[in-house]
């Protein structure tokens, strides 16, 4: 490939295969950067766009992918030749929500792979203002490709832990320890919580346990009451408080949301992180009766990204064991296998046409 072309895997129709297209290098406007992509993670949101009928803001055809790392090859001088992570949500930085510290839900936000062509490509053009630099020291342990998952899979649970005001001594219950939840569980531990991981996959639970999670529970086939009784028993065994539980629904499933809501107890905080189009029926009066909180989260504020990178640099947060890389030319197979739940690690697609 020459530097005169960009190669992109475009989605043209729902549930169809991605097609490789060739386009000329873009002309940059002031404040924009051109990034040679190192890796782009496959997120449940991409699967929702591709398979479940969730509409992208930009009309098709569109290149998906919002979990991106790479190297700046053109743009503002202060960014040239720097390794970076592109935040999955790029705010305007000027509106009311941005000024109030809620830039992750800026209504002028731009999301790669949703508002414009994303990271399943050789290069991408993005606003440079909120890029997150990757210090060389971070690359002594991890490849730039692996670090792409910080853009969403790691930063999203990091933000929700802060929003939930998790603190030392809390009991954190993480439902779903897959590509996002395993980082949520680790971050809860870093913040000082006692952590119980719930999943339906023994292999995922074993990995969580090997990485310091205090207790695990396979909830496959269990009724909600059984699950709640078992969680209470584990909490008692761990000498955790029966109050102020911090519950994190990371699975993005109706079943996970049903369980999570029913785990609410006195002064609990339930955070919804995983996404599903399915609807669940709940009794909202539980929030009143338990004086509990229910919160959502969307992406992560760009200003929090350096904090996440620092956790990686300090070796507090582990990444490599939970990531697997594939050539980007295998995108169609990887998406089909992801939909079929054949992977237990986060998939990162690495351009194999970036020569």
Share of the chain above pLDDT 70, in %: 99
Domains of the chain (ranges; CATH) run: 5-152+300-350 (3.90.180.10), 156-296 (3.40.50.720)
How many C-beta atoms lie closer than 10 Å to residue 352's C-beta?
12
How many C-beta atoms lie closer than 10 Å to residue 24's C-beta?
8
**Residues 156, 288 contacting (CB under 8 angstroms):** no
**Residues 17, 332 contacting (CB under 8 angstroms):** yes
pLDDT at residue 303, as a whole number: 94
Q: Look at residue 21 and give its three-state secondary structure.
A: strand
Each residue of 246-275: pLDDT tens digit? Answer: 999 999 999 999 999 999 999 999 999 998
Query: Residue 63: phi, psi to the nearest 5?
Result: -90, 120
Each residue of 224-243: pLDDT tens digit? Answer: 999 999 999 999 999 999 99
* Alpha helices (runs of H) in the chain, residue ranges in sequence order: 44-50, 96-99, 155-163, 181-190, 202-210, 224-237, 254-262, 285-289, 305-313, 331-339
Interatomic CA distance for residues 321 and 174, integer angstroms: 19
Region 294-320: mean pLDDT is 94
Going by pLDDT thresholds of 50, 70 and 90, the confidence category of residue 344 is confident
pTM score, two decimals?
Answer: 0.93
Residue 355 pLDDT > 90? no
The DSSP string of 123-186 is EEEEESTT-EE--GGGGGTS-TTGGGGGGTTTHHHHHHHHHTT--TT-EEEEE--STTHHHHHH
Region 25-32: mean pLDDT is 95
Each residue of 123-180: pLDDT tens digit? Answer: 999 999 999 999 999 999 999 999 999 999 999 999 999 999 999 999 999 999 988 9
Each residue of 196-208: pLDDT tens digit? Answer: 999 999 999 999 9
């Amino acid at each position: 490939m020459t530097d005169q072309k960009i190669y992109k895997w475009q989605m043209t129709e729902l549930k169809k295969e991605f097609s490789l297209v060739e386009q000329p290098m873009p002309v940059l406007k002031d404040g924009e950067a051109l990034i040679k992509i190192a890796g782009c993670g496959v997120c449940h949101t991409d699967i929702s766009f591709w398979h479940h009928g969730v509409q992208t803001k930009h009309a098709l055809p569109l290149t998906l992918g919002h979990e991106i790392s790479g190297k700046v090859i053109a743009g503002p001088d202060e960014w040239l030749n720097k390794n970076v992570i592109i935040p999955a949500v790029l705010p305007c930085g000027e509106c009311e929500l941005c000024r109030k510290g809620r830039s992750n839900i800026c209504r002028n936000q731009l999301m790669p792979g949703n508002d414009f062509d994303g990271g399943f490509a050789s290069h991408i053009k993005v606003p440079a203002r909120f890029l997150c630099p990757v210090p060389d020291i971070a690359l002594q342990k991890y490849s730039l490709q692996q670090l792409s998952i910080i853009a969403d899979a790691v930063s999203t649970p990091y933000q929700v832990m802060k929003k939930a005001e998790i603190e030392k001594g809390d009991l954190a219950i993480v439902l779903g320890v897959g590509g996002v939840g395993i980082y949520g569980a680790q971050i809860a531990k870093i913040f000082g919580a006692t952590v119980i991981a719930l999943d339906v996959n023994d292999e995922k639970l074993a990995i969580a346990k090997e990485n310091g999670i205090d207790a695990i529970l396979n909830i496959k086939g269990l009724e909600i009451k059984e699950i709640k009784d078992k969680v209470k028993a584990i909490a008692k065994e761990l000498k955790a408080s029966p109050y102020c539980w911090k519950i994190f629904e990371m699975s993005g499933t109706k079943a996970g949301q049903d369980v999570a809501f029913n785990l609410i107890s006195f002064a609990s905080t339930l955070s919804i992180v995983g996404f599903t189009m399915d609807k669940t029926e709940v009794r909202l009066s539980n929030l009143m009766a338990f004086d509990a909180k229910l919160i959502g989260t969307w992406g992560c504020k760009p200003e929090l990204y350096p904090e996440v990178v620092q956790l990686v640099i300090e070796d507090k947060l582990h990444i490599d064991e939970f990531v697997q890389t594939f050539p980007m030319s295998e995108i169609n197979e990887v998406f089909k296998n992801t939909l079929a739940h054949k992977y237990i690690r986060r998939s990162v697609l690495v351009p194999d046409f970036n020569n």
